[in-house]
Chains A and B, each alone.
Chain A
């Protein structure tokens, strides 16, 4: 496999850093929806991929 040819853009880095709203949203959702599954992460995948879970 080729190594990634394009690193995260500055905008991406800002969005995905630990303190980013996206990371905080995932943490908050995990606090509300306590489950052993990865349901919260999957819901956010659906949000970002513009799909219906």
Chain B
């Protein structure tokens, strides 16, 4: 709950374009990326861009659609461009995909392979509002009615500048060593069949830099990494023996155990 509101709020706050696609089993790749159609008047094929041509895309229930359509979206996420009929079209910048999944145990789902899950930076848990916040939503002081009043606070060029600032956040060797120790521990853990990939470690590093900037610092501390480790890495690992029907929660619990076991540099 609240995912669409969050995605829309980020889009409004950053003055970005926002689109939402509800993924279903009969959705085709062309429904996402677009299609070339023949124009009688122009006597040539013209490209009709799909909903992927936006800044923020909410891919709702991505595991409801077939692997072919999932791949079309995930390739676009990675390359930030799409190719139709040998023509390449760059996607608008910035471009973010916020995807939601139905729990894997539900019928009629196509789980995303680990290699594709690896393309997502982190997993966000929405959680429930507190009773006080729930009251505010009912009274229209939060949620959609508040969203309608939200004014853009950052331009796209300011976002680009902030992204550059995030990459410039200092990360000492000791913090990188800590990142490596956490990642290595996932690769050696008996309960995990697949540990965190090199891409996963890079994402952890970048997320920690962004967190530090949001905390008002120009440098990372080990606790930034510790704070983000489960959110960035839990969807990238494969649990060896799935003792429950909730592998996500199981992976989070194992990574939390690793996080508590690896000493934090002082």
Dominant secondary structure of chain A at its interface with chain B = helix
**Which one of A16, A44, A52 contacts B120 once the chains associate, using CB atoms below 8 Å?**
A52
**Which one of B122, B153, B219, B222 contacts A53 once the chains associate, using CB atoms below 8 Å?**
B122
Contact A25 to B207, CB < 8 A, known contacts A8-B217, A45-B122, A53-B96: no
Q: How far is the CA of A16 from the CA of B212 in the complex (A)?
A: 10
**Nearest CB of chain B from residue A8's CB, rounded to whole Å:** 3
Evaluate contact between B207 and A32: CB separation under 8 angstroms.
no
In this complex, what residue of B is CB-closest to A2?
B172
Q: How far is the CA of A17 from the CA of B165 in the complex (A)?
A: 14
Interface string of A10-53 (1 = CB under 8 A from B): 01110111000110111011011111110111111111111111
Task: Count A interface residues, CB 8 Å.
Answer: 43
Evaluate contact between B9 and A32: CB separation under 8 angstroms.
yes
Evaluate contact between B153 and A24: CB separation under 8 angstroms.
yes
- Interface size on B, as a range, is 35 or more
Evaluate contact between B127 and A28: CB separation under 8 angstroms.
no
In this complex, what residue of B is CB-closest to A29?
B9
**Which one of B98, B119, B158, B203 contacts A49 once the chains associate, using CB atoms below 8 Å?**
B203
Complex contacts, A24 vs chain B, CB 8 Å? 153
Evaluate contact between B170 and A5: CB separation under 8 angstroms.
yes
Q: How far is the CA of A38 from the CA of B119 in the complex (A)?
A: 21
Contact A47 to B10, CB < 8 A, known contacts A39-B127, A53-B98: yes
Interface string of B22-48 (1 = CB under 8 A from A): 000000000000000000000000000
**Which one of B124, B210, B213, B265 contacts A1 once the chains associate, using CB atoms below 8 Å?**
B265
In this complex, what residue of A is CB-closest to B78?
A52
CB of B168 within 8 A of chain A?
yes
Evaluate contact between A52 and B96: CB separation under 8 angstroms.
yes
Evaluate contact between A40 and B120: CB separation under 8 angstroms.
no
Complex contacts, B168 vs chain A, CB 8 Å? 9, 12
Q: How far is the CA of A24 from the CA of B153 in the complex (A)?
A: 8
Can you pick out 5 interface pairs between chain A and chain B where the beta carbons lie within 8 Å of each other? A33-B9, A36-B130, A42-B122, A48-B166, A51-B96
Binding site for B on A (CB under 8 A): 1-2, 4-9, 11-13, 15-17, 21-22, 24-26, 28-29, 31-37, 39-53
